[in-house]
Structure formats: C-alpha cells, structure tokens
Structure 1
C-alpha cells in the first residue's frame, strides 16, 4: 500500500526538493501551504496533492494530518517578525506537530532543525531550534522520530549563494560580517535525499543527524568562490565581531532582511559537523563548486548573453 507523507513547508526551497524526491520514490505526498499559488510548481507532480491550510489553525492542521503515515516538518524562519517568532515557529510548533502525530496515530515524524542547535548557543535562533528538537524528542518513545541538522544549504533557489552573487555584481566593495565564520555547505538535493532515504529506514529512528558537505569553508572563502564563478572580483572588507554586530543591528531594520544581529551571533559558532554523514542515509555529499557554476553563471549579465548567443546559434543551425 502506498504511504501518504504530509509535508509542512513543502513549497519552500528545501521542501520543493524533498517533495519531488518523495514523488519519485513512489510515496503519495500531501503539501500543506497557506497559498496554493506558492506551490504551483509541485501541482503537476503525479503523486502530489497541494492543499491550502493555515498551519497555525490547530483544528485545520489536525484535519489535514489525518490519514497520514508520515509527517515531515520543514517549517523554519531565519528572521523573526511581529507575527512569527523563533519561540513560536521553532519550539511550540514542532511540539504541536508531535502531539498531533501521537493523537492521530501517525508513527513516523521527520523534523528539520539546524546545525549547532544548542540550549547554550549564542543566538536565539539556535537556542529555539534546540528547544524544538527537545520537544520533538520527548515523543520518541511513542513516535519514530528523526531529526536533521544541516549546515547552510545551497541550490538553484537558495537565498544564500544567490543573494551574495547579486550583491557582488552591484556593489563595488563587499563589507562582510564574520568573514572567518566556518560553514560546511550542503547541496539541497543531498539534504532531500537524506530525508527521503530515512523515511522507511528503521536504523534512523530516534536519531539526530548532522548534514554537511565535503568541504569546510569560511564565509570569506565562500564569497571568493562565488566571485570566481561569476567572473566578478570585488574587494572584501572583513568586520570584527563588534562591527559585525553593529552591522547586523542596522541591517535588521531594513525592509529586506539581509542579516540581523542574531544571525551574527549564530556565526560565532562554527557551523560544521562533528561527525561524517551516516551510512544509513546513503548520501555522498556533492562538491559545492560542481553545483553553483550551473546556476550562478546563468544569472549574470555575461551568462545571460552567453545563453542568448548559444540559443541563437541553435536556431541558425536548425534553419540550415
């Protein structure tokens, strides 16, 4: 019998890859989203059902979770708002999802956390993630729970590499907070593969997995890699911790959130794995350079020109 997997946050960056892989693996997938329009790219997948649902409405969420065999929670925020705070989204919501799984007899729950989540972490973001992990794990005697803690995730639709690539193209100097902060970037498809491979793998029950790519890089090294990929060089001015916090305090007031004071505090802890990728996840992490060149170059003026020239060449050749 085909299992039904309900994905919370399935229309987002990571969720889209997870949903596509679940569909390919033969699961029946239900994606809950507040606006169906945001998940239109998933509607055409043969085994995917997109349902409009306000996940903050307890009764509505309970109704939509009924009949599920598996629940995957990918809900998370990087910046707090007046309506959605870290405590609500990262701690109380995962607790509520686990509670509903128990009430409805849904035995399998996969939960997305963050690398270096800890009650003693310097940022509210990481502390709230740790609180959510603990809340979910409290149900591990009644549910088959697996928690994933990825480092920074990159991919075609990411808001990390793409954002910096755009900034580098338009500003003469890159003023970089916490340039020596360490990360272990992991491809979104590797994260999705790890989660989907774990759905029916009993060896993953009750465990917390760290997910990272094959290379550990400083933030400055990542920016230099982006510059090399898009063929644009900019001077980098690295800021001290004090100046980074000051930059975060200012930039969190802007309409478009690039970085906040809490983000800077998160970067005080090296975002790297303490253990290699577990064998039972059946994933060999992909090199970042092999991936970003495939999507960054197309988004640059030079890349767009090359793409147009190649397309024109194909048309001319076809006419011949």
Structure 2
C-alpha cells in the first residue's frame, strides 16, 4: 500500500502536531482539519500541510474533506465531557468513529490509524474508558480488504506542552500543598515522539493491519511518584498528601463542577484500572521506549527556556 496523502483529525493537538512534524518535508501531503484555523496557524510553515477549518462532526463536511486522501489518522478525543453537542463522550469517541468509517468507505480511503487509549474497554468502570473501547471496536471491526485499520492504545503521553506533567507542574509552582487523589494509581508514561513514530512506522506496514498496539514507556510509576518527581524537577518543596479512596471520590464529585473540570468523578473511576501495558507494542515496532527521565528535565527543570525555544523552532519547521 502506497500512501500519498493523509488527513489528520485532531492534528492540532499534542500528538497530532508531533505526527505532522514527522511527516514534514516527506512526499506525503497532509490535511489537518480544525474547528479554529486562526488559532493553529503555527502549523502553516510545514510545507506539505494544508490547514482547513471544518466541523468534523458534520457528516457532509467529513465526506467532502476525505474525498481526496489515501489515509486518515484519528486523534480526536476528550478527557472530560459536558452536555454540549460534540462534547459528550459518545459524540466524540463513538458517533464520530461511525461517521468517519462511513466517509472512508464512501470515498475509497484505504487506511485508518485510530488512536484510542490504554484501558479502553466497553466494560470499563468509567464512561471515558467505555466509549473509547466502543470506538476502537467499531474501528477494528471495519478492517478488511477495502479499509486497513490499526489501533493504538497509548498510556498517558508526556513531552513538551503535555497536559499531564505540566498540569501538576502548574499546581506545584503556586500551591504550598497538594491533596492528591488516587496516589497509588499506576501509569506507564510514553513519550509523544514514540507514539508518533509508532504511527509513522505502521503507515504502510501490512503486518499491522487489523492489529491493536499498546504503547508505554520503559517504567511504571504510581501517580504519587510522578508528582513528587515533578516537584523535584521544579526544585519545589511541597507537601503532597495522598488521599484515601473515599476522599478521592469526593474530590472528583466536587471538582467536576469547577471551571475547566480539573478533576472529575469519571477521572477517578478511570484510575480503578492500572494504566499499564500488558504487552508494550513499541519494541515490536522497532522503537526503544524513551525514559521519562531523559526528557522531562528539559521542559520542567531549571533552565528549560532553551528547550522550549528549540521545541518552538522544530514545530515551526525552522530546524531543517
């Protein structure tokens, strides 16, 4: 299978930007759909990228924009939901996949790379996990002669501008103490470029068709270990108080009503399942998992301004 053009849905997000940069200056033409083009103009310097304002939840627009591509990478997801159309778990993780599969079939798209999440399971404890599981099952069920599908299940993803370690860093910089829910929850953080490399590696690889790959880093940590590590990188001495299960649930029920939903009861439910690979797919794809300790000090530790500048240049395509 030869792929000459790809549409990245969710291409303006954390993982999507990394994939777009990996495909920069390759023969593959890139189309990125976004609901707010002006806010994402930083992608425009990528020479083979077309940034298009579109509503991916509109079936007609989806049909139109997939008419001339060979492959689709679906990264669209939400961690928390609200009652607005297009912002509910079912809208994003299930119904959008259904619309996408119809548009792929109608337009003869031959390849779908669907990014789900580690712990996705239609029988999972949280709505996030259940809808993610339903979506990836729909995607894998569509694998066949006309559409080759591969699913990826990354653990929490780290790297510059991540929404995981940076969130804890923001709190630790200003708060004298942190009440930490589910401190014993286990994670296997995976580097954003390793995730992007896995997707790029399987692009045209027939052995990956119909497969599901769990993606994780080399080390498993508890949430408390990760937060304490971030505090160490920031050189901040903070009181970090691990909450028992009952208080963790209560914190989720309270904070989900705060602006921005910093923590929700559904987030709490997701931690009932360890976010750890049963079998890490990165080595199978020839990718050596990058250690958190090799990257995080560069963007969270002291003297990180140069790192951020270099990352900006790379994202802008100015390091070539």
What TM-score comes out, normalization by structure 2 length? Answer: 0.91
Which of 269, 272, 276 does residue 276 from structure 2 map onto? 272
> What corresponds to 1:201 in structure 2?
205
Contact 1:215–1:287, Cα closer than 8 Å, also in 2: yes
SS of the equivalent of 2:72 reads strand
Contact 2:177–2:240, Cα closer than 8 Å, also in 1: yes
1:39 is the counterpart of 2:40: yes
Q: Structure 2 vs 1, CA of residues 266 and 24 (structure 1 numbering), >3 Å: closer, same or farther?
A: farther
> What corresponds to 2:312 in structure 1?
none
Contact 1:185–1:288, Cα closer than 8 Å, also in 2: yes
Name which one, 1 or 2, has greater alpha-carbon Rg: 1
Which of 206, 211, 218 does residue 215 from structure 2 map onto? 211
**After the TM superposition, which of the residue ranges 197-206 and 20-29 deviates more from structure 2?**
20-29
Give 1:85 shift: 0.5
Q: When you count helix as a share of all residues, which structure comes out higher?
A: 1
- CA offset digits 1:219-244 (Å, max 9, x no partner): 00001110111111211111122211
Which of 115, 122, 140 does residue 137 from structure 1 map onto? 140
Q: 1:47-66, aligned counterparts within 5 Å?
A: 47-66=48-67
Q: Point out 4+ residue stretches in structure 1 off by more than 3 angstroms.
A: 303-307
SS of the equivalent of 1:210 reads strand
1:115 is the counterpart of 2:115: no
Structure scoring higher RCO (CA < 8 A, sep ≥ 6) equals 2
What TM-score comes out, normalization by structure 1 length? Answer: 0.91
- Matched residue count: 303
Q: Structure 2 vs 1, CA of residues 194 and 2 (structure 1 numbering), >3 Å: closer, same or farther?
A: closer
1:27 is the counterpart of 2:28: yes
Contact 2:283–2:289, Cα closer than 8 Å, also in 1: no
> What corresponds to 1:151 in structure 2?
155
Which of 87, 91, 95 does residue 92 from structure 1 map onto? 95
Contact 1:33–1:52, Cα closer than 8 Å, also in 2: yes
Contact 1:114–1:151, Cα closer than 8 Å, also in 2: yes
Contact 1:184–1:213, Cα closer than 8 Å, also in 2: yes
Tell me how far apart the structure 2 counterparts of residues 294 and 211 of structure 1 sit (CA, whole Å): 22
1:241 is the counterpart of 2:242: no
Give 1:41 shift: 1.4
Give 1:256 shift: 2.0
Gaps of at least 5 residues in structure 2 are: 308-320
1:221 is the counterpart of 2:225: yes
Contact 2:59–2:103, Cα closer than 8 Å, also in 1: no
Tell me how far apart the structure 2 counterparts of residues 304 and 69 of structure 1 sit (CA, whole Å): 39
Q: Structure 2 vs 1, CA of residues 242 and 282 (structure 1 numbering), >3 Å: closer, same or farther?
A: same
Give the root-mean-square deviation of aligned CA atoms.
1.7
> What corresponds to 1:78 in structure 2?
79
Give 1:109 shift: 0.2
- CA offset digits 1:199-254 (Å, max 9, x no partner): 11111100010000000000000011101111112111111222111101111101
Give 1:127 shift: 0.4
